[in-house]
Structure 1
Amino acid sequence: MYRSRMLQWAAGIVALVMTAGLLRLGETSIAVGLIPSPWDKLAHAATFGTLAFALWLALGRRLLLPCAVAVLVLACYDEWRQLMLPGREADIEDLIANTAGILMAVWSAQRLITKEA
């Protein structure tokens, strides 16, 4: 029980820090050209997949699809916001990579649920 609560708290902190970093650091010049293409797509998938999985863990391994949808909304917002940031550009391929990462997180979570059942 104690480990489960600690995992939830740790995952919640990870999700919170990642979201804050995405929103805050994404507005700075640090984010411009940080990871060159095509590796940026892998970074997008890893970031949003990790965020979706962490949020799911933080919520006690419940609400998988709402977690995925919430992170997808954040991914859409992030791409939309980049339209207004100097040096940044919104890209449908980034959004596809974000979605792929979220879907991989959902698939991984489903496998964990199935193994435990």
Structure 2
Amino acid sequence: MLLASLPSSFENFVVALEAHLPHGQKPIGCKWVFTLKTNSSGEVERYKARLQDAAKGTYSPVVRYNTIRMILAIAAEYELYVRQLDVSTAYLTGILDEDIYMQQPELYDTILDVC
């Protein structure tokens, strides 16, 4: 669902829908990315959409190798099963040192320039 991640974005105070661009700031671009998820017979199971930034040199934090080794060692010690886990709002927990402004998506109806 398109709006599935919006509540967590607002809870973490990450998203402001509209804003005035401060003097000297340069907004990053954005684009909509649409994908179809299909099952093994090729039937469409769901539609996915995300608003992606067009920033150059983006950073995606990953887990440290030592952390994975520690978790696997604890699981082995206590004979636990290890399963995959995906945290869909993990990227929202990072701390930014500055405000970041994004251009409005195409066809967004507003008088303001950025969000």
Per the TM superposition, whether the score is higher than 0.5 is no
Compare relative contact order (CA 8 Å, sep 6+) and give the higher one, 1 or 2. Answer: 2
Instruction: Please indicate the TM-score interval, normalised by the length of the shorter structure.
Output: under 0.3
The two structures have a TM-score, normalised by structure 1, of 0.21
Higher strand share: 2
Higher helix share: 1
For the pair shown, which has the larger CA radius of gyration, 1 or 2? 2
